[in-house]
Amino acid sequence: MKTSDFNFDLPAELLAEHPSEHRDEARLMVLDRKTQTIEHKLFKDVVDYFDEEDLFIFNNTKVFPARLYGNKEKTGAKIEVFLLRELDKETRVWDVLVDPARKIRIGNKLFFTEDESLVAEVIDNTTSRGRTLRFLFDGSYDEFRTKLKELGETPLPKYIKRAVEPEDAERYQTIYAKVEGAVAAPTAGLHFSKHLMKRLEIKGINFAEVTLHVGLGTFNPIEVEDLSKHKMESEEIIIDERNAAIINKAVESHRRVCAVGTTTMRALETSVSSNKKISAFNGWTNKFIYPPHDFGVANSMITNFHTPKSTLIMMIAAFAGRDFVMHAYEEAVKEKYKFYSYGDAMLIL
């Protein structure tokens, strides 16, 4: 498989700038792998495809407001700082992306407040736009994290050209988000409303949760034609014993097991053993799933519509078959489905 096998023409106007008015009223394309058929529904119709004792598995990661704006010492130039990963709690050292990167060198200081209560010093370069910062803040760790939240902005993807709006703080977060640590939302889950969750519950459908803290690596473009040479960035996964047991019971009972999102699927495929059992897991994954791949846990999945040549469309192709997926994407463009983070959804059975 080559990167170019996953290319298609995506008109710019199909990239969703805003979410649908109601979470569960986004459009839903339903792909049936057995019959190779496609249906067009609304997301809230997802309940019709599942029965009592079937299982939905959610990624309960919570997005933190990772985008900060600071000013460079002396010149006062405005610099965007995107928090990627906390490296050391004690010394407040973080890996970040900076923009414009050419202006930021080791030793530079960035000021985030008028009163200079939060300052960061650049202590290392990591990649072309990556830097390691040490934050200087006179207060406890909890006060420091509170200050980051106060100053931070919802980290909407770069393709959304509009300014962040107050509703984004709520809508770029799943309703079941619990464990803070993601810098991007697990977007398939954004379509679930409280009302829909209640309807699923009433129908007797079970829920399990895993945590995968979504990093920006998920969205990195693939710059090689040979997929086996692409390296994914690592993301942190946590699966506890209780949720592992719920998942294993559903698999053993041959229920319909639905992974909500590519991040949930990556977490499952990282922690599954050769005998198709999920084990409790606490660690990191850089697993890259592309065709052919034998999936061990979920036999259905929910996902959004992804951009051309992305690692995400490759995972979908591994699950549903490359030709079927590319045909479905052609149909999605023709039917003007909305793509990417705030876009419409796909259910693959």
**pLDDT score recorded for residue 257:** 98
Q: Quote the tokens at residue 251.
A: 């698999």
**pLDDT score recorded for residue 158:** 86
**Binning pLDDT at 50, 70 and 90, where does residue 183 land?**
very high
Are 180 and 36 in contact by the 8 Å Cβ rule? The answer is no
Other C-beta atoms within 10 Å of 208: how many? 24
**pLDDT score recorded for residue 128:** 76
**Which listed CATH number (2.40.10.240, 2.30.30.140, 2.60.40.3080, 3.40.50.720) goes with 67-151?**
2.40.10.240
The 8-class DSSP code of residue 181 comes to: E
Q: Given the structure tokens 């709006």, which residue do they identify?
A: 165
| Mean pLDDT confidence for 313-340 | 98
Closest CA to 103 of 75, 124, 145: 75
pLDDT tens-place string over residues 137-175: 999 999 999 999 999 999 999 889 999 999 999 999 999
Q: Domain limits of the chain? A: 3-63+169-348, 67-151
Q: Where are the alpha helices (DSSP H) in the chain?
A: 141-151, 168-171, 194-202, 241-252, 262-271, 311-320, 322-334
Taking 90 as the threshold, does the pLDDT of residue 80 lie above it? yes
Q: Do domains 3-63+169-348 and 67-151 have the same CATH topology?
A: no
Fold held by 3-63+169-348: QueA-like (3.40.1780)
- Alpha-carbon span 42 to 57, nearest angstrom: 20
**pLDDT score recorded for residue 261:** 98
- Alpha-carbon torsion angle 315, 67, 57, 332, nearest 10: -50
**pLDDT score recorded for residue 217:** 75
Q: What is the pTM of this model?
A: 0.94
Residues 6+ apart with CB under 8 A from 282: 237, 238, 239
